[in-house]
Structure formats: structure tokens, C-alpha cells
Amino acid sequence: MRFRSRAGNRKVRNPKARVRGFTLIEMLVVIAMILILLSIALPMYNQSIVRARETRLHQDLTTLNKAIQEYSLDKKHAPQSLVDLVPGYIKFIPADITGSIETWVTDPEDSEDAWDSNQLGVKGVHSGSPVISTDGTAYSSWTH
């Protein structure tokens, strides 16, 4: 004998039939595996972000110091600040690893090696961040 619902030809479910699905244990195992994979991947991801920031700092230091040298050779005197390099030698002053252009620390020229001893300018630049890099040195000690 078949049971029919009032709505038409749809069958009524047998209340004793087993409903397919996942058990709580299966769900916990899957969640545990996902958490293990995340615990492995997250530190690697964070480390890659730090390395990318350090690489960017190296590139910015090289660009700035090269622009200072080119400016000095072209003008026969060193720039008075990093602003003098814009727009002729660089398009903009890049941000330091701290995220600000205000933290760059400029190294003054030596009076003996200066292009013009009456007008001392910028010899080089380095980061003003006291944070320690992945190689164990402070970012402020990097020159390029």
C-alpha cells in the first residue's frame, strides 16, 4: 500500500528511513585537518610578507642613494634634502619600511669630501626604523 499526500503524487517519507549526512566525528576530523594546514601555512605567509617588505626597503635604498649620486654628479653639489631629487631624478620619495617618508634619515656629506665645503648636502640615506630585520640587523643600519 502506498501513501499519498494531499498535494498530489509526492511520496510521504518513511519516518524510519535513514537520513544521509556527516557525523559529528567526521566533521571534527575535517575541521582539525583544516586547522593543522592553516597552522602550517600562516607563519609561512607572514614570513613572505616580511621578506617582501625588506626587499622593497633594499630597492628603495638603492634607488634613493643612486639618485643622490646622480644629482651630485650632474649639479656638482649634493642635494640639500630628498625633496630636491623630485621630479628630476625620482618621481616621488618612497615610503620607508615604517610606511612614512618622514622616517628616512639622511647622512650629511663629510666636509673633506664635499662637492662644495660651504654648502654641505646629503651624502646618503638609510631607514629610521629601529626594528630588527630577519637577518638580525636593525633596518636603520642598512645603507643599500
Residue 5 located in a structural domain: no
Residue 131 located in a structural domain: yes
Residue 122 located in a structural domain: yes
For 129, the grid coordinates are 626604523
What confidence category does residue 8 fall into, taking pLDDT thresholds of 50, 70 and 90?
A: low
Residue 42 located in a structural domain: yes
DSSP H helical segments within the chain, as ranges?
24-75
Model confidence, pTM:
0.67
Residue 3 located in a structural domain: no
Distance CA 62, CA 80 (A): 19
Residue 127 neighbours by CB distance under 10 Å? 22
Residue 10 located in a structural domain: no
Say how many Å lie between the first and final Cα of the chain, rounded.
87
For 43, the grid coordinates are 607563519
What is the pLDDT, as a whole number, of residue 1?
53
What is the pLDDT, as a whole number, of residue 141?
79
Average pLDDT for residues 35-48, to the nearest whole number?
93
Q: Which residues contact 105 (CB under 8 A, 6 or more apart)?
A: 125, 126, 127, 128, 140
| Residue 30 and residue 38 in contact, taking contact as beta carbons nearer than 8 Å | no
Task: Identify the weakest region by mean pLDDT among 3-7, 76-80, 96-100.
Answer: 3-7
What number of CA atoms fall less than 13 Å from residue 141's CA on the CB side?
7
| Residue 99 and residue 60 in contact, taking contact as beta carbons nearer than 8 Å | no
Domain count, the chain: 1
Residue 15 located in a structural domain: no
Residue 93 located in a structural domain: yes
- pLDDT surpassing 70 at residue 69: yes
What is the pLDDT, as a whole number, of residue 109?
82
Range of the domain at 34: 24-141
What is the pLDDT, as a whole number, of residue 2?
59
